[in-house]
């Protein structure tokens, strides 16, 4: 339908021409800094009466953003212009968070101030600790607790939740550091509560990831000192999850933010979206799948055949954007070997199965033809498991990692001049002119009463009534 051609119109760049009902309409082409092209159809409906239909938004750009770039064909991912491989090699999660939120790498001074601010916010308001003393049942899913408590943070910091965007933005720096820090404390305390363990407070002399491991695994009578490589692997997992442009949860955060909602409410909605097994929940599903294969004693063939037959999906495989190897999965597959070595699990059966499964899938025409490669979830779960994290905490770890991205996207929406509420349209496919029938007449066969109801109802002409009867 769209005919995109190069028209050098007064130096303004490309124009896309639509042919519709014998008329032709020109729309400007927006070109991104990496050369991506999008047809700006924002005046389509007012000019033609038509809307576009793109279920799943696979062809729809919902915004222009400066945060993250992905080239799915080439398997490239950049945070604020810096390749993920460079960040993974040189940076930490907290430095990456600063970059993603504020747009530039921090100076030494900025880094120190930011880290201090994150550290100072590590404790929860004491009143919030009551949530871990019986308010939630032991059986509660940690993602459910996380989403609830992130939203409830707004109750404890009312100066950051004013319902006035300008005022909310004045406290943005504090709210961002607070969220980054407390999401980790909430996660660790949820784990402690669910396992009937005493809550462990954060310590002032530990880095971000080490503090998390301390709050998870230290005991009042025994300090937990993780191996450096374990702390680094966890930090790397968080860094690799920091942002991924317009995925389901980030788009949710942006949508909620577009209504004027505060940062806490918006990221809490992001957690709910992330929970689903087709998104962040896939890292849990991968481990369940690998364990199932292990129990069956199968080499993975049965699972692959079931996935090809549409009975199940090979979890941790495929991605809406990546049509080649997810660069994050590549980095993690290498990190996994290191962590297993450190944890003295030289041969982890699940990692062995994962590698075998990848090998099989990548030589199978079904997966080749559909460009299905391992995604970030394929290896992150095996690393998290070897560190000692229970499966139901995996998606929570993803949420901790994604927090910088959600915060940055909230800010982008909140600071956009003339920001619009996100409100897509639809093509209605439901019933038309359905008559209202009074409840006493809704049983089948009571036509006489039905007719009298219909004739009394407003807005329905004889023709509709007649066709209904026929
Ligand atoms: N296993 C088997 N077949 C698959 C898989 C898979 N994991 N993923 C896609 N396919 C097949 C589909 O059946 C479909 O085949 P068809 O053309 O014969 O109908 C084709 O590949 C295209 O699949 P879609 O569902 O249209 O692709 P989409 O882009 O909508 O989905 C998604 C992407 C949801 C990630 C999908 O690949 C999937 O379900 N993967 C498993 C879950 C997973 O790992 N999710 C994590 C994603 S990454 C993240 O959120 C961090």
Query: Could you tell me how many residues make up the chain?
Result: 470
Distance from residue 427's CA to the centre of ligand 1 (Å):
25
Q: What is the DSSP letter of 391?
A: G
HEC profile of 193-250: HHCCCCCCCCCCCCCHHHHHHHHHHCECCECCCCCHHHHHHHHHHHHHCCCCCCCHHH
- The sheet with strand 23-31 has its strands ordered as 2-5, 15-20, 23-31, 37-39
Indicate the average pLDDT of the chain: 89
Q: State the pLDDT at residue 166.
A: 93
Specify the ligand 1 atom closest to the Cα of 286: 44
Q: State the pLDDT at residue 443.
A: 82
Q: Whose CA is nearest to atom 29 of ligand 1?
A: 320
| Distance, first Cα to last Cα, the chain | 39
Q: Average pLDDT for residues 272-288, to the nearest whole number?
A: 90
CATH no. of 15-71: 2.20.28
* Domain extent listing, the chain: 15-71, 82-277+403-414, 282-387, 439-469
Q: State the pLDDT at residue 387.
A: 87
Q: 282-387 falls under which CATH superfamily?
A: Cytochrome P450-Terp, domain 2 (1.10.230.10)
Q: Average pLDDT for residues 330-349, to the nearest whole number?
A: 76
Tell me which of 214, 241, 244, 319 is the catalytic residue.
319
The phi and psi torsions of 317 (rounded to 5 degrees) equal: -120, 145
pTM score of the predicted model: 0.88
**Cβ(214)–Cβ(224) below 8 Å:** yes
Q: State the pLDDT at residue 454.
A: 52
Q: State the pLDDT at residue 354.
A: 85
Q: Whose CA is nearest to atom 45 of ligand 1?
A: 278
Pairwise CA distance, residues 429 & 273, whole Å: 26
Name the residue with higher pLDDT: 1 or 435: 435
Q: Average pLDDT for residues 82-86, to the nearest whole number?
A: 97
**Any ligand 1 atom below 6 A from CB of 243:** no
Of 313, 283, 251, 278, the residue nearest 379 (C-alpha): 283
**Any ligand 1 atom below 6 A from CB of 282:** yes
Up-side HSE of residue 177: CA atoms within 13 Å toward CB? Answer: 17
Specify the ligand 1 atom closest to the Cα of 313: 1
* Residue of 282, 283, 312, 318 to mutate, ligand 1, most atoms within 8 A of C-beta: 318
Residue pointed to by tokens 């490239």: 76
**What tokens does 191 get?**
């784990």
The phi and psi torsions of 153 (rounded to 5 degrees) equal: -55, -35
Q: State the pLDDT at residue 301.
A: 87
Angle value at C-alpha 397, between 392 and 401, nearest 5 degrees: 160
The phi and psi torsions of 330 (rounded to 5 degrees) equal: -60, -45
CATH no. of 82-277+403-414: 1.10.580.10
Q: State the pLDDT at residue 281.
A: 85
Distance from residue 25's CA to the centre of ligand 1 (Å):
35
**Any ligand 1 atom below 6 A from CB of 374:** no
Instruction: Kindly write down the DSSP assignment for every residue of 40-79, as one continuous string.
Output: --TTHHHHHS-----GGGTT------SSEEEETTTTEEEE
pLDDT over 80 (residue 241):
yes
Specify the ligand 1 atom closest to the Cα of 307: 2
**What tokens does 13 get?**
């760049």
Q: Is 341 a catalytic residue?
A: no
Tell me which of 168, 244, 377, 409 is the catalytic residue.
377
Pairwise CA distance, residues 113 & 132, whole Å: 31
Pairwise CA distance, residues 208 & 318, whole Å: 31
pLDDT over 90 (residue 351):
no
Q: What is the DSSP letter of 453?
A: H
Contacts for 118 with CB less than 8 Å, ≥ 6 apart? 94, 177, 180, 181, 208
Q: State the pLDDT at residue 117.
A: 96
| Cα torsion angle, 280, 282, 285, 286, sign | negative
- 63 Cα distance to chain centroid: 16
Q: Is 71 a catalytic residue?
A: no
248-274 pLDDT, tens digit each? 999 999 999 999 999 999 999 999 999
Specify the ligand 1 atom closest to the Cα of 319: 35
366-421 pLDDT, tens digit each? 999 999 998 888 888 888 988 889 999 999 999 999 999 999 999 999 999 988 99
Query: CA separation (Å) from 319 to 326, 412, 452?
Result: 8, 25, 56
């Amino acid at each position: 339908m769209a005919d995109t051609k190069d028209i050098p119109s007064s130096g303004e760049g490309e124009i896309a021409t639509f042919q519709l009902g014998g008329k032709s309409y020109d729309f400007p082409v927006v070109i991104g800094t990496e050369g991506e092209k999008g047809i700006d159809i924002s005046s389509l409906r007012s000019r033609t009466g038509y809307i576009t239909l793109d279920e799943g938004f696979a062809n729809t750009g919902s915004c222009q953003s400066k945060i993250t770039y992905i080239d799915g064909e080439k398997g490239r991912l950049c945070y604020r212009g810096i390749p993920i491989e460079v960040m993974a090699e040189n940076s930490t999660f907290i430095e990456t968070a600063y970059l993603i939120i504020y747009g530039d790498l921090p100076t030494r001074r900025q880094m120190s101030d930011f880290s201090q601010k994150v550290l100072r916010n590590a404790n929860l308001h004491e009143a919030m600790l009551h949530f871990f003393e019986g308010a939630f049942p032991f059986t509660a899913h940690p993602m459910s607790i996380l989403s609830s408590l992130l939203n409830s943070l707004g109750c404890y910091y009312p100066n950051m939740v004013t319902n006035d965007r300008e005022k909310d933005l004045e406290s943005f720096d504090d709210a961002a550091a607070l969220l980054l820090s407390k999401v980790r404390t909430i996660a660790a305390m949820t784990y402690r509560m669910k396992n009937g363990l005493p809550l462990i407070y954060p310590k002032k002399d530990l880095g971000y990831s080490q503090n998390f491991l301390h709050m998870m695994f230290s005991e009042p009578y025994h300090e937990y000192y993780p191996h450096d490589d374990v702390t680094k692997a966890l930090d790397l997992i968080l860094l690799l999850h920091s942002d991924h442009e317009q995925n389901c949860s980030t788009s949710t955060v942006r949508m909620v933010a577009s209504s004027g909602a505060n940062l806490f409410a918006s990221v809490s909605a992001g957690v709910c979206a992330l929970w689903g097994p087709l998104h962040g929940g896939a890292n849990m599903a991968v481990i369940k799948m690998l364990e199932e294969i292990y129990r069956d004693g199968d080499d993975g063939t049965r699972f692959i055949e079931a996935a090809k037959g549409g009975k199940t999906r090979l979890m941790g495989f495929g991605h809406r954007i990546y049509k080649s190897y997810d660069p994050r999965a590549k980095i993690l597959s290498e990190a996994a070997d290191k962590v297993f070595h450190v944890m003295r699990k030289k041969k982890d059966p699940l990692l062995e199965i994962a590698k075998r499964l990848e090998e099989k899938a990548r030589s199978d025409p079904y997966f080749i033809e559909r460009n299905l490669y391992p995604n970030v979830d394929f290896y992150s779960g095996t690393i998290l498991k070897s560190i000692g994290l229970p499966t139901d905490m995996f998606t929570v770890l993803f949420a901790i990692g994604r927090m910088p991205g959600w915060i940055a996207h909230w800010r982008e929406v909140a600071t956009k001049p003339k920001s619009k509420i996100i409100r897509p349209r639809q093509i209605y496919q439901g019933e038309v002119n359905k008559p209202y029938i009074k409840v006493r007449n809704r049983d089948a066969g009571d036509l006489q009463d039905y007719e009298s109801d219909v004739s009394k109802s407003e807005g329905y002409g004889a023709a509709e009534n007649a066709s209904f009867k026929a």
